[in-house]
Structures are given as structure tokens and as C-alpha cells.
Amino acid sequence: MINGINRFIPDNLKPFKTNNSYLDMKRTLINKKEKQFETVFLNNIESAFDYFNIKSNQCLSFHHHLRNGDNVLQQVSEVVKRRDLRNMHFAPSSIFPSYTNLADLILNGNVTDIHTNYLNGKVAEVIGQGYLKGKLIMNTHGGRARAIESGDLKIDVAFLACPTVDKFGNGTGAFGPSACGTLGYAISDLEYAKKVILVTDNLVDKLDEYQFDGAYVDAVIVVDSIGNSEGIVSGTTKLTKDPIGLKIAKDCANVINQLGLIKNNFSMQTGAGKISLAVVKYIQDIMNQKNITGSFASGGITKSYVDMLNKGLFKELYDVQCFDLDAVKSYHLNKNHKAMSASKYGNPFEKNPICNRLSFVILGATEIDLDFNVNVTTDSWGNIIGGSGGHADVAHGADVTVIISPLFKSRIPIIKDKVITVTTPGNDIDILVTERGIAVNPERKDILKTLENSGLPIYTIKELYNLAHSITGIPAKIKHSDEIIGYVEYRDGTYIDCIYKVI
């Protein structure tokens, strides 16, 4: 069948209708888990498989707060391989290039189904080549929380890396040898998984403050190392020095300023891309010039935002995951640097989630089409290189959503007739800022009117599309096979697009 944005979806799946359809749906909540026994302490991951009788056909979940430094999913994968468990369903909140053991499990047929929000590296390659025998579902951060609380995603055992755990099973990421800061993506797993196992390398007597409540924790495993917290620093968290990127960032900050969005008590979020971080710097300059104090910044938090909090430019930070070690330290020491769960961040059924309170959000795109639909899941050839993360959540929630991107990357224009994969529907995208001009979604007549006499280079998206083609020529259309290798699930649980095997 064809869904609400003209994408093919198999008949047995619930099709996406509109970005607001969730308003007509009822929130479904399964019961939160009730622990039957005292928390047990185990010596290794292998023994947890025996203790909880983890067997084939079960669903194991993980979070990705240690990002590319995580070693828990790797260790669990080794046990699954050793025991040759079959038809396993893995549900990590994201998958990074260091998760190489999972790729082997897919190739061997041990893991056949995956739920995740973001996918990169070797696992993406093997799935892209069609080796995953079951289903790949890529949902949003808020959508994952919704899927877990509603029982759409049933988790048998959650293996949750936890930098410090006490003898009551309470856990925190704020400190410890592998500190990673907030643990927001794992809260739904903690509350709804049938069994919850914290994996730590730092056991203490008692925690006064914790994010993981021991009331939900069945077992604690103490290992030598849960990972390398330096691996949480992503290469994409550094500010650009590229003059094109800086021009886009400056124009973006200018648009935001001209829309009057930088005013006292405003709130904002940006991605962790290099250009986004430059936007933060320019917005900070404007705030300083106009003596503005913002209400909060949210999202994955970087040093830039920590500095702004410390300078009093924001009153609070709402942090679902720390993107660098400065953010980890700040979360530990600064009471105004607050943790939020993925549900509180972007679950459409949450009452007043943080994403709905944003004045504006700045996001990236690998492609955007003439209907403003955005792809951050696949590249221009259809290879899986990412995923929504919180993209579709905040794009929907924020008052103004801005996409920033060079008009073409190398020789590939980013504006397409139709994006290869829809991650975020065009109705939720308001403005595209490129180095050669700015396009406003014609649905946002209010924005168009405000920017009418701004002196900014405003074009239609079709004009920018033509401008790009006048420079690069018209690229050949990319063909993909008809074989579906995965699905993009919108935040409300409907299916917005399919991911196809690359030819």
C-alpha cells in the first residue's frame, strides 16, 4: 500500500498517515516490571545467561551511552556466539562502528531481528547487503520509548552498561572509571524489560543520587571494564573550520535571529554536527550582544552548551546523553544540568515532552526533497549510514525546525526530487539553510512573511534545486533493488518508509 507521504509499505504493516495522527491515538502502557526477588550479584556475563536462562528467540536490549567506546554489547555478543543461540532479537538504542561482534552474529544467523535508532559501521554494511534474516526496524528515540512502554517492543533481558552501581542495585553514569553521564535512553528498558541486568566496572556501597532505581534491577554483573568513556566523544562533536560550513552556520544564526527566536527564556537544540556546533557559537554571540538568557538547551549535550550554562546563558540543560567528557563532568557537578529519559525527551504520548517545548532546533540531512522530506538514514546511494535518533521527534516538536547543509556534497546535490529514504516528514521541516540560499517550506507562511524584507537570500526549494543542478549537472537517478532490508518507523509506531538493498 502507499502511505501518507506516497511511500510503499507492505500491507501487513501500519502505514504512516500524518505527523499529527498520534493526537487521535490512545497511549498504550503495559505494566512496569515488578521485581520478584532481591538483586543478585554475578561475576560475569556468561553466568547471567545461566541464571536467567537466556535462550534462543529472545530479545536483548542495550543502550548506547558509551557510544563507540561501549564494550557491553560486544561482551554479550561473544556469549551469544559461544552458546550459538539462534533467532535472537537485539534492540540496542544505537549501533556504532565498534560493535563488530554483532555483525558476526548477523552473518552467522544468531541475530535475525534488530530494533535500533541509529546504525553505522560494519553492522550497517552487513544489513545493507541483505544478511539480516528477519526484520530491521529503525525508529526514533522517542518512538523507541513508546514502543517499549506499549509492548510493541518486548524486551526479555536488558543488559545496561552502568558506570557506577551500589549494593542495592541503584546505578548512575555520573562518575566511575567509565563515566558517560546521563543514561536517558535506557530508562524505558529499565522500567519495562522482563529482566534487567546492570553491567558495571565500579561497585560502591551506597549511592545518594542515582538515575537507575534498584527497584527495577534483577542482577548486577561486575566486569573489568564496560568500555572506554573516551569513546563517547564523537568525531562529529567538533566545531567546523570549513568556510562553507561557517557561512551556513552564520546564515542559520541570522535567520533564527531575524525570526525573533533569540529572546529571553527561549529554548533550543542542535545536532552534534560540526556546522551545528558553529551555529551554537554564533547564537551565543547574539545572546551576549543582546543580553539574552535562554530557558534551556536540550538533546545530546556538548561542551558548547556546558560553557553556556556556566556563563549563565541558559538556566538549565536537559540531557538525554552526554556527547563529550566535559558534558559528563558537568552533569556530575552541576545541578542545573539535568538528565531526561528518552520518553520525556521525545515520546509523542508523553505529556508535554521536552521536544515540544523547543523554540527551534537545528538539524542536518543527507538528503532533502522538494516536499521537504528529510533523509538521515541512508546516503545518496542507499547505504545505511545513520538513522533518526531524535531527528523526527524534535523536528515535530520544535516551533521552528531548520535543516542546515551544503547545497552539494562533493558533486552530489542534496536536494532531490524524492529522497531515497524518508526519515522525517516534510511537514515537520520549516527552513533549509545552504551556503547559496535559504528555502522556507511554503506551508510556513508566517516565516515567509517575517523574512520577506530581511535581505536574506530566500528562494523556493525548487530554485535552490535548479541552482545546484546548474553547477553540478543533473546526476543519474540511483536505482535500488526491490528487496526490503529494513523499515523506518515513525515516532507514533506507523511505518514511514522501507529501506532497500543496494544494487
Partner 1 sequence: MFRSLLFIPSNNPSMIQNADIFSADGIIFDLEDSVDISEKDNARNLLMNYLNEGTNYPSLIVLRINPVETEFFLNDLELLKTQKINYVLLPKADIESLKILDRHLSTYEEKYKLDKIKVIVLTETTNSIIEIDQIAKHKRVEGILLGAEDLCNELEINRTNEGNEILFARSKVIYACTANNIIAIDTPNTSIDNEELLKKDCLNAKNLGMKAKSAIHPNQLEIINDIFSPSKDEIDWAIKVIKEKEKNLSKGAFSVDGKMIDKPLLMKADKIINKAKLYHLI
Q: Which residues bind partner 1 (CB under 8 A)?
A: 241, 243-244, 246-247, 435-436, 455, 467, 470-471
Residue placing its CB nearer to partner 1 in the complex, 260 or 473: 473
Residues contacting 4, CB < 8 A, separation 6+? 15, 16, 17, 18, 21, 425
Residue placing its CB nearer to partner 1 in the complex, 371 or 435: 435
Cβ 241 to partner 1, closest distance in Å? 7
Report the distance separating Cα 22 and Cα 265, nearest Å: 28
Query: 323 with 236: CB under 8 angstroms?
Result: no
Residues contacting 51, CB < 8 A, separation 6+? 40, 42, 219
Grid cell 553547477 is found at 471
Residue placing its CB nearer to partner 1 in the complex, 232 or 283: 283
Cβ 148 to partner 1, closest distance in Å? 45
Cβ 435 to partner 1, closest distance in Å? 5
Residue placing its CB nearer to partner 1 in the complex, 26 or 241: 241
Residue placing its CB nearer to partner 1 in the complex, 153 or 280: 280
Residue placing its CB nearer to partner 1 in the complex, 128 or 406: 406
DSSP 8-state class, residue 172: E
| Burial call 81-116: b when 16+ CB within 10 Å, e when fewer | beeebeebbbbbbbbbebbebbbbbbeeebbbbbbb
Residues contacting 407, CB < 8 A, separation 6+? 413, 414, 415, 434, 435, 436, 437, 464, 467, 468
Residue placing its CB nearer to partner 1 in the complex, 93 or 284: 284
Geometric angle at alpha carbon 109, from 107 and 111, rounded to 5°: 95
Cβ 460 to partner 1, closest distance in Å? 17
Residue placing its CB nearer to partner 1 in the complex, 210 or 408: 408
Residue placing its CB nearer to partner 1 in the complex, 199 or 248: 248
Cβ 276 to partner 1, closest distance in Å? 18
- Among 142, 68, 433, 442, CA closest to 279: 433
Residue 320, number of CB atoms within 10 A of its CB:
28
Cβ 425 to partner 1, closest distance in Å? 30
Report the distance separating Cα 316 and Cα 318, nearest Å: 7
Cβ 465 to partner 1, closest distance in Å? 14
Report the distance separating Cα 138 and Cα 123, nearest Å: 13
- Among 62, 335, 332, 320, CA closest to 179: 332
Report the distance separating Cα 15 and Cα 2, nearest Å: 8
- Considering just the CA atoms, what is the radius of gyration of the chain in Å? 22
Residue placing its CB nearer to partner 1 in the complex, 97 or 457: 457
Residue placing its CB nearer to partner 1 in the complex, 247 or 480: 247
Cβ 354 to partner 1, closest distance in Å? 34
Cβ 200 to partner 1, closest distance in Å? 42
Cβ 456 to partner 1, closest distance in Å? 12
Residue placing its CB nearer to partner 1 in the complex, 201 or 251: 251
Cβ 317 to partner 1, closest distance in Å? 28
Residue 498, number of CB atoms within 10 A of its CB:
21
Can you spell out the DSSP letters for 85-146?
--SEEEEES-B-TT-HHHHHHHHHTSEEEEEES-B-SHHHHHHHTT---S-EEE-BHHHHHH
Q: CA distances (Å), 502 to each of 66, 73, 115, 134, in order?
A: 30, 27, 20, 17
Report the distance separating Cα 34 and Cα 98, nearest Å: 34
Residue 316, number of CB atoms within 10 A of its CB:
17
Cβ 244 to partner 1, closest distance in Å? 6
From its phi and psi, is residue 120 left (phi > 0), alpha (psi between -120 and 50) or beta?
beta
Q: Report residue 159 as a C-alpha cell.
A: 543488559
